[in-house]
Amino acid sequence: MQNVKIQPSILPAVRGRYTADALLGAVGWFRAGGGAEVLFKPADLEDLQNFLNLCPKDIPVTILGVLSNTIIRDGGVGGVTIRLGREFASVEIQDDGLVKVGAAALDVNAAEAAAQAGLIGLEFLCGVPGSIGGAIAMNAGAYGGEIRDVLVSAEFVDRDGVLHSLTSTDLNMAYRHSEIPDGWIATGATFKTSGRNAPENIIAHMTSIREKRASTQPIRSQTGGSTFANPKPEELAVCGLPEGTKSWQLVDKVGARGLKIGGAQMSELHANFMINTGGATGADLENLGEEVRRRVLNSFGLTLHWEIKRIGNKV
């Protein structure tokens, strides 16, 4: 980032913290990209509501989680970027088998808390990188489960600071898709579970998920998870491709496994994972993804859809 354009005097008084010219890319999972013009970490829900209600509506507001599946472009993010902290990271086990989770809680923490309580159904979350807010936004899933299977309701704050509660039906959840109204910020969710078992049995199941993930995905690299969503059946049918064809198979077929642009590379271990081999810029990562998309489109007539978010300004 170069010059901060927002004058602090025009921002609402808050109990949380504003940081000008704050690091983003350097703390994201890719370790690449620019910063935030202004970063705001609210003290609690009321502080967030107050900020959204009073912040001038012509100032762009961006919500970010733990940056597990996000490319920050090198020009950084203008306006105010909000990151929810530990005040939004609670995990509460209720007597009726429901699990109430803050949007900033890590997916794996929700899975582990449910397992320790002997509750079945959230184990898949230990295989989903990132936080609950991001998982809701993309209906994240892995190893046979996805958010819409377990979501009772998700709580949001709109751009005026008003609270809302929506179900998976309200959000029209589909494969890697949720329809969250523009400007709404997830603050938490309530999940249902599907029964009880001994905690050690549930933990053993989660251990098998972790082991499978470690053997097939470059989780120890600077990566952002799956780069592209798997094609829908109707997309495959139009292109004459076999039902069930996965994105990694298409990346493989166009010779892009291990493909490099600058410091960015499609993983040799899992062709649908992009990694920063060291020194990658946000542009390297995005350009690599676009090159893969171009090759797949030219070879098969199919457009791969980004699963990784790309935000901010290009240089």
Q: Cα 233 to chain center, whole Å?
A: 24
Q: What mean pLDDT comes out for the span 190-200?
A: 97
Q: What mean pLDDT comes out for the span 195-216?
A: 96
- Find, among 211, 208, 209, 206, the residue nearest to 116 by Cα: 206
The model's confidence at residue 26, banded by pLDDT at 50, 70 and 90, is confident
Question: Catalytic annotation on 168?
Answer: no
Tell me, what's the pLDDT at 5? 73
Helix (H, G, I), strand (E, B) or coil at 94: coil
> Could you tell me if 38 and 81 are in contact, meaning their C-beta atoms sit under 8 angstroms apart?
yes
Determine the residue type at 276: N
Q: What mean pLDDT comes out for the span 68-84?
A: 95
Judge whether residue 55 has pLDDT over 50. yes
C-alpha dist (Å) from residue 187 to 150, 161, 307: 17, 12, 22
Mean pLDDT check: name the lowest of 218-222, 260-264, 302-306.
218-222
> Could you tell me if 270 and 286 are in contact, meaning their C-beta atoms sit under 8 angstroms apart?
no
Other CB atoms within 10 Å distance of the CB of residue 175: 13
Tokens 């958010």 sit on residue: 147
Q: Which CATH architecture has domain 8-85?
A: 2-Layer Sandwich (3.30)
Judge whether residue 61 has pLDDT over 70. yes
Tell me, what's the pLDDT at 1? 43
Task: Pick 87-201's CATH classification: 3.40.605.10, 3.30.70.20, 3.40.30.10, 3.30.465.10.
Answer: 3.30.465.10
Which residues are within 8 A (CB) of 130 and not within 5 positions of it... i.e. 6 or more apart?
65, 66, 68, 69, 106, 107, 140, 225
C-alpha dist (Å) from residue 18 to 41, 52, 84, 116, 313: 7, 14, 12, 37, 21
The catalytic residue among 226, 257, 286, 295 is: 226
Q: What mean pLDDT comes out for the span 17-23?
A: 94
Classify residue 36 by burial, with Cβ atoms within 10 Å: 0-12, 13-18, 19+. Answer: buried
Determine the residue type at 269: L
pLDDT tens-digit profile of 122-132?
999 999 989 99
Q: What mean pLDDT comes out for the span 236-257?
A: 97
CATH of domain 221-311: 3.90.78.10
Q: Cα 65 to chain center, whole Å?
A: 7
Rounded to whole angstroms, how far apart are CA atoms 93 and 226? 30
Domain ranges across the chain? 8-85, 87-201, 221-311
Rounded to whole angstroms, how far apart are CA atoms 111 and 119? 9
Judge whether residue 73 has pLDDT over 70. yes
Tell me, what's the pLDDT at 4? 47
Classify residue 244 by burial, with Cβ atoms within 10 Å: 0-12, 13-18, 19+. Answer: exposed
Question: Catalytic annotation on 226?
Answer: yes
Tell me, what's the pLDDT at 101? 98
pLDDT tens-digit profile of 272-282?
999 999 999 99
Judge whether residue 3 has pLDDT over 70. no
pLDDT tens-digit profile of 112-170?
999 999 999 999 999 998 999 999 999 999 999 999 999 999 999 999 999 999 999 99
> Could you tell me if 310 and 70 are in contact, meaning their C-beta atoms sit under 8 angstroms apart?
yes
Tell me, what's the pLDDT at 9? 80
Q: Do domains 8-85 and 87-201 have the same CATH topology?
A: no
Helix (H, G, I), strand (E, B) or coil at 24: coil
Q: What mean pLDDT comes out for the span 218-223?
A: 91
Judge whether residue 190 has pLDDT over 90. yes
Q: What tokens does 106 get?
A: 């890590």
The model's confidence at residue 2, banded by pLDDT at 50, 70 and 90, is very low
Mean pLDDT for the chain? 95
Tell me, what's the pLDDT at 13? 96
Tell me, what's the pLDDT at 15? 98
Question: Catalytic annotation on 176?
Answer: yes
pTM here? 0.91
Q: What mean pLDDT comes out for the span 26-41?
A: 94
